[in-house]
Amino acid sequence: MEECDYINELPDSLLTQILLDLRTKDSVKTSVSSKRWRNLWLNVPGLDLFSLQFTNPHHEEGLIKFMDRFMESNCRSRLQKFMIRYFECNGYRDRFMELIGTVVDCGIQHLYVYMHTCNRVDFIRQNIYKSKTLVSLKLYNVELKNPDFVVSLPCLKILKLMKICYGEDGPLVVEKLISGCPVLEDLELIKPFDILTQDVILFLRIDAPRLKYMTFYESRFDRIMVKNMSSLFSIEIRAKSSFEYGGLLKAEDPRKRAIICDFLTVISSVRHMIISGSILEELHSYSKLGWIPQFRNLYHLQASFFGTSLQLLPTFLESCPNLKNLIMDYGAFKEENIDFHEVPQCLISTLEYVHINKLMMMEQSGIKLVNYFIENSAVLKKLTLRFSFFSSIESESYKKLLTSTKLSPTCQVIFV
């Protein structure tokens, strides 16, 4: 009985969609399979290029020629995806920008531009701000010019901006982009703009009523103003606190307190949160003033606790009355005088899974922390302890130091 070649039985339209999931270099390799596959890669509705794959001394020139050939074949039909990552661009800067503008005109849906160059590169053609087809836009190390017209990206759902804007105009460009995306669902800002002088106080205002996922990384936490976040499901805050910039505004400053209070209040409906230790350090300072908003919908929390922020743990958990999953990155590198007395509502009624990372075997604060959960968690099902350095012999000694009686009879304590 003859074996059937199921792949070659498929129509070209389906094969090109399969090749779309491959990197372009792998897609091109299929051209040697047979006569049918020789030019099939040219019809793939996407391009994924990495400049270092062009290893000759003039790799930018080779990359340009490759892209030209692909675009001649493909731009007659609508492209779906265009990704380019390159190092340096020598004299081909303008040509790269022209090609990126061309793919936008061709009706691209997914655009990812990663530029690793000594100098940032402008988008020379500003048609990117008025694309009617873009669904996702990811930019790294690109300086965007401030458009003198209204941004309109009616289909954009995913926006990820990484190190893109410099100078005092940076926040305004980001604001214009976000405000021009009425169906935006996923926003990620990784060091989206730098402030040239610490004397200039700049704020980023975000108004995105359909936003579901939001990530801040290396951004000024106290300079982000948000509103209309009722649809927000998940937030990741790995931003920098004001203390990392020299503490320009003191905790008692009413303006700063109002900004952070408003931010936390607006995002208080989230169900999933990841928060860095530096932000918790700042929140610990504010908790002394008597306020932390309630996160009543939050069921999953991943947080980094170190130094004085560990003292905030019971207070912060009290603001999460329905928390079910807790992942802690623990970083007490010196003996802290920690004594937990409060028992938050979530420990009594909802907390089922706790995972603590970066524990040290004989470190006393960590032992107190573990005992705290064992002794006070009424419905806990699993407590996982992950150690920076693990020894099976020391783990037996560690277990003996866990003197608390388990409040939850079904709780498993797992050592990793």
pLDDT of 384 reads 94
The SS3 assignment for 373 reads: helix
Q: pTM for the complete prediction?
A: 0.81
In the beta sheet, which residues pair with residue 243?
Answer: none
pLDDT at 278: 77
- CA–CA separation, 122 vs 93, rounded Å? 9
Beta strand residue intervals within 26-169, DSSP E = 46-50, 81-87, 110-116, 121-122, 136-140, 142-143, 158-162, 165-166
Give the pLDDT confidence score for residue 253 in this predicted structure: 67
Residues 121 and 305: their CA atoms lie apart, in Å, by 39
**Domain assignments of the chain as residue spans, ordered by start:** 294-416
Query: If we measure between CA atoms, which residue out of 315, 331, 319, 326 comes closest to residue 293?
Result: 319
pLDDT of residue 249: 42
C-beta separation of 165 from 174 below 8 A: yes
Residue 35: the pLDDT is: 65
pLDDT profile of the chain (416 residues), mean per 10: 59 70 66 64 70 53 69 64 72 71 86 72 73 93 83 96 70 87 94 52 80 84 80 87 48 69 87 88 68 90 81 87 95 64 93 92 82 93 87 68 78 87
CA atoms of 126 and 146, how far apart (whole Å): 9
Query: DSSP string spanning 197-249?
Result: -TTS---EEEE-TT--EEEEEEEEGGGEEEE--TT--EEEEEEEPGGGGT-SS
Name the residue among 298, 231, 228, 238 with its Cα closest to residue 263: 228
CA distance 128 to 213: 23
Taking the C-alpha atoms of residue 362 and residue 370, their distance in angstroms, rounded to an integer, is 12
DSSP structure string for 316-359: HHHT-TT--EEEEEE---S----------HHHHHT--EEEEEEE
pLDDT of residue 134: 95
Give the pLDDT confidence score for residue 196 in this predicted structure. Answer: 42
Task: Sort 375 into a burial class: Cβ within 10 Å, 0-12 / 13-18 / 19+.
Answer: middle
CB 169 within 8 A of CB 196: no
User: Residues 54, 63: contact at Cβ < 8 Å?
Assistant: yes
